[in-house]
A and B are shown apart, each in its own frame.
Chain A
């Protein structure tokens, strides 16, 4: 009995250690100077510094990257969920010709690599002046986020009996009044999960975001991948930037942690 528990604890501990090691290394690097990183091997910062973070928060070439990323990610999340809500409702409540095929086709959109779309988007955006705008990137990311949001929301909506809709209509609610006053609050957990995944995929997507921007809407990931600057390799700075990109994701996941499990249980995430 005791042996079994010790084993289990050991396995868990090892798993967590391996999982956290790269993250620890990144965070540890962000508090080191570039010289220390390139110099001797050290497990923790010998010469602790906040200089890297200070630079990011004061230098516009760095912090605008975050602002750009956050603004197109926020736009994308709002657009994706707003568009997906009625679509998911239709899939969950109505039978129409080809509904199942259409629903599956939506999912296949997620399987297409974004690289395929980089060139057509670049061409199109240059022509209609969406190139290097936040909304441009947000719309491009809808390509894979709307299907995902529809997929997730449909699962949550189908968990709500259609008798709820009917009861509302019998009580005299119009469709939109019911949808906004009753239905959306009922599936709030699902909306939270859908928003989280839209946020996450848009936040980590690099290829489209990089291709479709130049200066004004340049995402943080693009700034970060610029490894060398006039002052040589700034590894400490890059590590600090990397650490900061993890923070919003961790923050969002904290709020939806209880609902994510339900999303997984529905087999939709």
Chain B
């Protein structure tokens, strides 16, 4: 049994931070909380840790109701976005701190600290103070302390957000492996869909204090339950617009349409909401099924190998992402290729229609 939220809500001063949430994370798994700022990721983590009490509902951990249990008595460790270390302790004492409180022997503490400092590449820095380290090293100390505590639940609140990209990539590769070995249930919060995909495991998408979907990360991405989840799990944002089903075709407007796939043939003729991810809306057709759509370019952002083009397509703001450098001036007309096989369809309640 991992951690389980049962009907948990959290209100602060009349403001609802978390709406009624049921979420069960399996033991020893790697879980990602994905959502924008203020979506409730941090509150959810703090509720799991016991740093904040739920306004209603219960929190169960390992088959035990831990709702009222003080944090000191729980087996939880947490790494924050800001680099939090004890400024008056050396790196050694920082990592040793939870072990000292637990009352381990000096030799055990020394061995443990050296082991985790080695894992986090802090060998040469044990006598330094946090203020004398770089940001990346400070965060490594915080992670080493969380590892040393050897708790059953590890909460990582955007731990890599304040690091430069090189360090972030390095640590992102290491983190799941480090904690997987310890057998702990890990919950990792992030604002970046790409990061969630790279971390793998399970993902819960969050939006405005609600969990939209929870499942295997890849499945959440490929088959979002609902429109909100699809929006949260897409960067650049997913393109959303209304299509009309009529005569066995989906009509985007008068000129652009494509055949309804067999699996959706039984749907009523009605308006539906469609979503298409920017990288399925490209400047070159990827296969024969592609449908051409014309749009007026607003901004073209060219990165090293990708072109992200913001366009106006029949009154909708759309984003297209293509490989290669494709310069456009604003006001130019661009022809995009929409790949019907990749389109996600949502019903009136914004639930995805499976096909």
Q: What's the Cα separation between A161 and B84 when bound, in Å?
A: 8
Q: Among A166, A172, A186, A188, point to the contact of B101 (Cβ < 8 A).
A: A172
Q: Is the interface of B mostly helix, strand, loop or mixed?
A: mixed
Q: Is the CB of B86 within 8 A of A166?
A: no
Categorize the interface residue count of chain B.
Answer: 20 to 34
Let me know if B51 and A174 touch, CB within 8 A: no
CB-CB under 8 A from B145, the residues of chain A are 167, 171
A255 within 8 A of B: no
State the Cβ distance, A167 to closest chain B Cβ, in Å.
Answer: 5
Q: Is A130 an interface residue (CB 8 A)?
A: no
From A161, A172, A174, contact of B102 by CB (8 A) = A172
Q: Are A170 and B76 in contact (CB under 8 A)?
A: yes
Of chain B, the residue at the smallest CB distance from A171 is B98
Known A161-B82, A163-B82, A166-B51; judge A171-B88 contact (CB<8 A). no
Interface flag for B34 (CB, 8 Å)? no
Most chain B beta-carbon contacts within 10 A, residue among A163, A168, A173, A174: A163
Please judge, given known A-B contacts A182-B88, A185-B88, whether A170 and B101 are in contact too, CB under 8 Å: no
| Chain A interfacial residues counted at CB < 8 A | 17
B263 CB-CB contact with A under 8 Å? no
Q: A172-B98, A172-B101, A182-B88 are in contact. Are A167 and B78 (CB under 8 A)?
A: yes
Q: Residues 178-195 of chain A: 1 if any B CB is under 8 Å from the residue's CB, otherwise 0? A: 000010011010000000
How many whole Å from B273's CB to the nearest CB in chain A? 40
Verify A173–B88 contact, CB threshold 8 A. no
Is B21 located at the chain interface by the 8 A CB criterion?
no
The answer to whether B80 has its CB under 8 Å from any CB of chain A is: yes
Asked if B97 is an interface residue, CB under 8 A from chain A, the answer is yes
Residues from chain B with a CB closer than 8 A to the CB of A177 are: 101
A45 to chain B, nearest CB (A): 49
Interface residues, chain B, CB within 8 Å of chain A? 49, 51, 70-72, 76-78, 80, 82, 84, 86-89, 97-98, 101-102, 142, 145, 149
Residue numbers of A with Cβ under 8 A of B are 161, 163-164, 166-174, 177, 182, 185-186, 188
Chosen A-B contacts, 6 in total, with CB atoms closer than 8 Å, are A163-B80, A169-B51, A170-B76, A171-B98, A186-B86, A188-B88
Q: A166-B49, A170-B71 are in contact. List 17 more A-B contacts (CB 8 A).
A: A161-B82, A163-B80, A163-B84, A166-B51, A166-B71, A167-B78, A168-B86, A169-B70, A169-B71, A170-B49, A170-B149, A171-B145, A171-B149, A173-B72, A177-B101, A186-B86, A188-B88
